[in-house]
Amino acid sequence: MTAVPDFAKGGGLVPVVVQDAATADVLMLAYMDREAYDATLATGEMHYRSRSRGRLWRKGEESGHVQKLVALLLDCDGDTLLARVRQTGPACHEGTPTCFERALAGEGEAGLAELERVVAERLAEPVEGSHTTRLLSDPNLRLKKVAEEAGELIMAAKDRDRARLADEAADVLYHTLVAAQAEGVTPRDVLRRLADRRGAPRRPVGGTEAL
């Protein structure tokens, strides 16, 4: 018999962790009842039960930012779903790629999300005295800084100075991502390109070797 979520355990609802199928980013947390579950399977688009509005809703029905179902997985207790989706546009109603943009702890992707948020804020509202604002307002400066920091990275690597190498790598990453986001390419877009290359045949992809 095909397994189905245990809706009774949660009073008719099960939580759904929604994940980008391409990047594995967690996009949002929502809830399904049996009606939303059946509608999702029938249409191939994510449907949820809105607890605040008390009704069924299709993700993107107003914004157009729909989620196409790729896979739906049930956890070992049968009361939580993991939905892997193809997301159109931002997942969050606040216009951010995911609903989990507020970094409270940790590093890595949370740090990139924070950088993306700061750059977006500086683009919308320049801040006097901000280095990011200066870079965003001067295309020549930001490109010059990428080249300058790359040169310092090379020298640190040549000298095998691990501490300075970490500092220079951070500078290169920061200035590169600011230059990219100034042209509409976000850190998340860069991560998606890297994700696309994982497991790809070892041949040039867009001029770059696959990982």
One digit per residue, pLDDT tens: the chain, 211 residues?
Answer: 468 899 999 999 999 999 999 888 899 999 999 999 999 999 999 999 999 888 999 999 999 999 999 999 999 999 999 999 999 988 988 888 888 876 665 555 667 777 888 898 899 999 988 999 999 999 999 999 999 999 999 999 999 999 999 999 999 999 999 999 999 998 888 888 887 876 555 444 455 555 4
68: left (phi over 0), alpha (psi -120 to 50) or beta: beta
Claim to verify: residue 134 and residue 172 sit in the same structural domain: yes
Q: What is the DSSP string of 104-154?
A: -S--THHHHHHHHHHHHHHHHS--TT-HHHHHHH-HHHHHHHHHHHHHHHH
Name the helix (H) or strand (E) containing 36: helix 34-43
In this prediction, residue 211 carries a pLDDT of 46
In this prediction, residue 177 carries a pLDDT of 94
Residue 132 lies in a domain: yes
Residue 211 lies in a domain: no
φ, ψ of residue 183 in degrees (nearest 5) = -105, 15
Determine the structural domain holding residue 70 and report its residue range: 8-87
CATH number at residue 133: 1.10.287.1080
DSSP class of 45: B
> Can you read off the two tokens belonging to residue 12?
């008719």
In this prediction, residue 1 carries a pLDDT of 44
In this prediction, residue 205 carries a pLDDT of 47
CATH number at residue 25: 3.10.20.810
Claim to verify: residue 14 and residue 49 sit in the same structural domain: yes
Burial class (CB within 10 angstroms; exposed 0-12, middle 13-18, buried 19+) of 184: exposed
Overall domain count for the chain: 2
Q: Is the pTM of this model over 0.75?
A: no
In this prediction, residue 189 carries a pLDDT of 86
In this prediction, residue 47 carries a pLDDT of 98
Residue 119 lies in a domain: yes
Claim to verify: residue 115 and residue 66 sit in the same structural domain: no
User: Which of 54, 87, 120 lies at the terminal end of a domain, its last residue?
Assistant: 87
User: Which of 52, 87, 122 lies at the terminal end of a domain, its last residue?
Assistant: 87
